[in-house]
Amino acid sequence: MLNDLWYKNAIVYCLSVGTFMDSNGDGVGDFQGLVRRLPYLQGLGVTTIWLMPFQPSPGRDNGYDISDYYNVDSKYGTLGDFAEFTHACHERGMRVMVDLVINHTSDQHPWFREARSDPASKYHDWYVWADRQPPHARDGVVFPGVQKSTWTFDKQAKRWFFHRFYDFQPDLNTANPQVHAELLKIMGFWLQLGVSGFRMDAVPFVIGTKGAKVRQPVEQYDMLRSFREFLQWRTGDAIILAEANVLPDTDLDYFGDEGERLQMMFNFQVNQNTFYTLATGDTGPLKKALTATKARPATAQWGVFLRNHDELDLGRLAPEQRAAVFAAFGPDPDMQLYGRGIRRRLAPMLSGDRRRVELAYSLMLTLPGTPVFRYGDEIGMGEDLSLPERECARTPMQWSTEPHGGFTKHPNPSSRVISGGAYGFERVNVASQRRDPNSFLNWTERMIRMRREVPEISWGDFAILRASRNDVLALRYDWRNNSVVCVHNFAAEACTVKFRSGCNGPGENRLVNLLSDDHSEEGDDGRHTVVLEPYGYRWYRVGGLDYLLKRSEL
Ligand code: GLC
């Protein structure tokens, strides 16, 4: 049934509770503030909210260092507030997903405290230890330049412990059956509180073998199956959306050949190549990435995104491709991070050029998968490069021209809203864009609305059409005898592009524009000839003049 696989046609919006809306004036966003903003998110067309970590944490990695999996950090509210929040989302027909950070805990987690203070405790084996520094301790760091090693000596335990990420994030020994049981319990807990699924952090590391002798971790894919089975036994429609920046030839290992493992993964391959195409106008590598990630089981789905809370990771591009993206979007070394990425938000990367920002989002909304928005991108927020590492793109939401962008009434909050300049809250905020029918916010809302009426993209199979130009990408989606064609021009110049829709049933020589009156009729040569503006885009449905789906039982 169409609606059963809800994640296929969802619009996901990710946010941090702490930077979204402060209701009590203490300078930190909270669940009550977020609840007040739900009508806004519903109006935007968001169907699923993904919350970044909000559990108790020393906060040394933006909450990705959890010290209690079964609670809400008191900065953000209480478990009661969380339950009110999920209830309020459900009232509005929205679902909630939460981050599941189980590769590691904080070093302040009671499990680790006990593990390090008492090697005889059962918790000792919940982490990964070595008596001597492993020879490859300097390999495989995730944050080069900031993190020096993946093994650190613990004075209390007098042993070395493994940490794939920062040294305050000891890795859990996920091969330990007790740890495995605890991970399921964590999922069960949040399911019981009403969530519809998890964005699972760092999946390849969660399932990789760990230990002093492990040079090249081996993924234990069956662990994914056990997670899924548990989830579906407890709550039939709950899903996992994996953060797994992996090569396409392992995609099916993650999804499972029969779709028995993960329901969703972020498509990092397409993400990185999208930025290459935005930077150069060359659609070749993006087409390759789309083809390489095409195969997936019927129930599986990609999460497609532009920017997230981390750096834009370009590590999978060839060095000269990466250099081209750096040159276009992050030429200043301070805009780059970890030698592989760009730490900026999308709008400033595209020089605030509305045409290019629209092109990027129009593309994201029409790539195969479920679109995932990052809070603030719908109004074109910028970054604050004076903040360290990835913090620069995690500033508070800009609601209005009131002090601190209306985010808080606190006179001096520790999270500072971006102020002044082209991206300051005085110029970029929700309230002003709400009033302006031509604002980017209202454009985004209209596009999301249309995207939700185009299930072909979510459900269908796609074909890359042979366009007469390499700087134009033309995709067709087919689903239940309906087809849409989406065309994007990555060039700074207007152009004329010719392509065959590939559909030749009765009435199918017409492409009905879903967004304007500018339809297209097939020429005598059997091709469509479309004139596109610089960075122009078109969404068409094949056949008839009604823009809605024709041949389907929705
Ligand atoms: C993931 C998160 C990132 C975090 C890391 C460690 O990559 O996206 O923000 O720092 O995991 O938990």
How far from chain centre, in Å, is Cα 303? 7
Distance CA 226, CA 179 (A): 13
- Which is the CATH superfamily of the domain at 6-103+175-452? Glycosidases (3.20.20.80)
**Substitution candidate for ligand 1 out of 19, 101, 169, 201 with most atoms within 8 A of CB:** 201
Q: Please report which helix (H) or strand (E) contains residue 198, including its range.
A: strand 197-200
Helices (H), 92-146: 110-117
Choose the CATH number for 110-162 among 3.40.50.300, 3.90.400.10, 3.90.1150.10, 3.30.530.20. Answer: 3.90.400.10
**Among protein residues, the one whose CA lies closest to atom 9 of ligand 1:** 310
Distance CA 549, CA 514 (A): 11
Distance CA 395, CA 462 (A): 37
Q: Please report which helix (H) or strand (E) contains residue 215, including its range.
A: none
The DSSP output letter for 472 is E
How far from chain centre, in Å, is Cα 142? 19
Residue type, 208: G
Q: Is any ligand 1 atom within 6 A of the Cβ of residue 311?
A: no
398 Cα–ligand 1 center, Å = 24
Radius of gyration (Cα) for the chain, nearest Å? Answer: 24
The minimum-distance atom of ligand 1 relative to the CA of 103 is 12
Residue the block writes with tokens 């595209």: 350
With helix as H, strand as E and coil as C, how does 376-421 read? CHHHCCCCCCCCCHHHHHCCCCCCCCCHHHHCCCCCCCCCCCCCCC
The pLDDT value recorded for residue 4 is: 87
The pLDDT value recorded for residue 462 is: 98
103 Cα–ligand 1 center, Å = 10
Catalytic residue ranges: 201, 243
Q: Is any ligand 1 atom within 6 A of the Cβ of residue 223?
A: no
Distance CA 35, CA 268 (A): 31
424 Cα–ligand 1 center, Å = 27
User: CB neighbours of 317 closer than 8 A, spacing ≥ 6?
Assistant: 272, 273, 276, 285, 325
Name the residue ranges covered by the structural domains of the chain. 6-103+175-452, 110-162, 460-553
Distance CA 373, CA 76 (A): 22
258-293 core/surface letters (b: 16 or more CB in 10 A; e: else) = ebebbbbbbbbbbbbbbbbbbbbbbbebbbebbeeb
**Substitution candidate for ligand 1 out of 14, 16, 61, 150 with most atoms within 8 A of CB:** 61
**Substitution candidate for ligand 1 out of 52, 54, 64 with most atoms within 8 A of CB:** 64
Q: Is the distance from CB of 465 to CB of 402 less than 8 angstroms?
A: no
Q: Count Cα atoms within 13 angstroms, Cβ side, for 16.
A: 23
Q: Is any ligand 1 atom within 6 A of the Cβ of residue 471?
A: no
The pLDDT value recorded for residue 551 is: 60
Q: Is any ligand 1 atom within 6 A of the Cβ of residue 64?
A: yes
The CATH code of domain 460-553 reads 2.60.40.1180
For 367-405, the pLDDT digits (tens) are: 999 999 999 999 999 999 999 999 999 999 999 999 999
User: What is the side-by-side strand order in the sheet with 129-130?
Assistant: 129-130, 159-162, 151-154
Q: Is any ligand 1 atom within 6 A of the Cβ of residue 61?
A: yes
User: CB neighbours of 73 closer than 8 A, spacing ≥ 6?
Assistant: 54, 55, 56, 57, 63
User: CB neighbours of 182 closer than 8 A, spacing ≥ 6?
Assistant: 126
Phi and psi based region of residue 11 (left: phi greater than 0; alpha: psi -120 to 50; beta: remaining): beta
300-329 core/surface letters (b: 16 or more CB in 10 A; e: else) = bbbbbbbbbbbbbbbebbeeebbebbbebb
Long-range contacts of 19-22 (CB under 8 A, 24+ apart): 19/375, 19/394, 19/395, 19/396, 19/397, 19/407, 19/415, 20/375, 20/396, 20/397, 20/407, 21/397, 21/399, 21/407, 22/407, 22/408, 22/409, 22/410, 22/413
- Positions of the chain with pLDDT lower than 70, given as ranges: 1-3, 551-554
Q: Is any ligand 1 atom within 6 A of the Cβ of residue 456?
A: no
Q: Is any ligand 1 atom within 6 A of the Cβ of residue 200?
A: no
Helices (H), 17-148: 31-36, 38-44, 79-91, 110-117
The pLDDT value recorded for residue 219 is: 97
Distance CA 322, CA 448 (A): 30
For 106-126, the pLDDT digits (tens) are: 999 999 999 999 999 999 999
Backbone angles phi, psi at 496, to 5 degrees: -110, 125
| Token pair recorded at residue 108 | 């302040």
Q: Is this model's pTM higher than 0.95 or not?
A: yes
Q: Is any ligand 1 atom within 6 A of the Cβ of residue 203?
A: no
The pLDDT value recorded for residue 3 is: 65
Percent of the chain with pLDDT over 70: 99
**Among protein residues, the one whose CA lies closest to atom 3 of ligand 1:** 310
